[in-house]
Amino acid sequence: MRTRPTTRALQYIAVLAYLIFLGFPLLWLISSSLKSPREFASVTPSILPKHVDFSNYTDALNEQGLVRGLGNSLQISVYSTILVLIVALPVSYALARFRSRLRPLTNGWILVSQVFPVILIVIPLFMILRPLHLTNTIPGVVIVYMVWSLPFALWMLQGYVAAVPRELEEAASVDGASRLRTIVSIVMPLLRPGLIATAMFTFISAWNEFFFALVLLQDPQLKTLPLVLARFVGAEGQVQFGPLAAASVLATVPSLVFFAFLQRRLTSGLLSGAVKG
């Protein structure tokens, strides 16, 4: 069926509207980060900077708290990602391969953990971690992130495990390989794309996370990047929007790199996990 010219025109108008709604905020953020302080204060702002000026970026990177926040965020995200993969791999294997009684329980837990408001969890968590001297520490936040990105990681990974042909494992066990051996040398290599995708999602969710960090980290030395950025905004009045915009762009870079990498697989891979899981 041919699309009529008027319909076509309307479609393009609609696409244009979407592009502006979705893209303009990003364009503005990036262009703000490249404007000189003088241009920033101008009463008639222009969409693109008249002179590209990187001083906001150098200013942001000279800010002590910001660099420290970046380092803290990186550390926490990397550690919790590694932990999640170690824990999620065997569980998702068991979920996909065995029909044990733990499966409905685990799926129930995944569901419940999505429905419950975090405020209910964060108070007891705080009360558990405090006597263990784990509030206000990086390991404390790491294990909390590990547990709370686990549901999504399991949900993704078990779909990938289910896609690995069972015959390969049977062949290995006929050849006398133990279950562990089969997992390590047959399943894991085939799971590489799934493991990478899961790792990225875990990393990003830790990198972007705000609420648990806000409650668990009070020490300014330990604050993650989102906390540092949020505090900058809070200090309205003397807030410098230029460096803040630059820091915001920097904070988004890791996620953008990962998403650029994942983009093609996202529609198919993520949802195949959902359907097969």
Q: Taking contact as CB under 8 A, which single stretch among the options 49-57, 74-82, 189-197, 259-267 is the one that binds other proteins?
A: 259-267
Does residue 12 belong to the site contacting other proteins (CB under 8 A)?
yes
Rounded Cα–Cα distance for residues 233 and 40 (Å): 17
Site for other proteins in 124-143 (CB under 8 A): 124-125, 127-128, 130, 143
Q: How far is the CB of 129 from other proteins (least distance, A)?
A: 9
Interactions with other proteins, residue window 190-209 (CB under 8 A): 204, 207-208
Token pair listed for 230 = 């949020």
**Segment 105 to 124, residues that bind other proteins, using CB under 8 A:** 106, 109, 112-124
| The one among 51, 99, 237, 238 contacting other proteins by CB under 8 A | 99
Residue from 29, 67, 85, 177 binding other proteins (CB under 8 A)? 29
SS (H, E, C) 17-40: HHHHHHHHHHHHHHHHHCCCHHHH
Rounded to whole angstroms, the Cα distance separating 249 from 184 reads 39
Cα 197 to Cα 192: distance, rounded to the nearest angstrom: 9
State the minimum distance, in angstroms, from the CB of residue 54 to other proteins.
18
Which residue stretch of 56-64, 74-82, 188-196, 266-274 sits at the interface with other proteins (rule: CB under 8 A)?
A: 266-274
Q: How far apart are alpha carbons 169 and 133 in whole angstroms? A: 44
Buried b (16+ CB within 10 A) or exposed e, 90-113: ebbbebbbeeeeeeeebbeebeee
Rounded to 10 degrees, what is the CA torsion of 249, 252, 257, 260?
-100
The CA distance from 2 to 102, in Å, is 53
Of the residues 57, 79, 93, 160, which one makes contact with other proteins according to CB under 8 A: 93
Residue 195 beta carbon to other proteins: minimum distance, rounded to whole angstroms: 16
Total interface residues for other proteins by CB under 8 A: 101
Answer for which of 9, 48, 102, 171 binds other proteins (CB under 8 A) is: 102
Kindly write out the interface string for residues 30-69 of this chain, putting x where it contacts other proteins by CB under 8 A and - elsewhere: --x-------xxxxxx-x----------------------
- Pick between residue 42 and residue 58 the one whose CB is nearest to other proteins: 42
Site for other proteins in 218-257 (CB under 8 A): 225-226, 229-230, 233-234, 241, 244-245, 248, 251-252, 255-256
Please answer whether residues 141 and 216 qualify as being in contact, where contact means their C-beta atoms are separated by less than 8 angstroms: yes
- Specify the DSSP class assigned to residue 87: H
In the complex, least distance from residue 204 CB atom to other proteins, rounded to whole angstroms: 7
Shortest separation between residue 71's beta carbon and other proteins, angstroms? 16
Residue showing tokens 């008249």: 50
Give the H/E segment covering residue 108.
helix 102-115
Residues in 139-178 that interact with other proteins by CB under 8 A: 143-144, 146-148, 150, 158-159, 162, 166, 170
Write out the DSSP string of 136-176: TSHHHHHHHHHHHHHHHHHHHHHHHHHHS-HHHHHHHHHTT
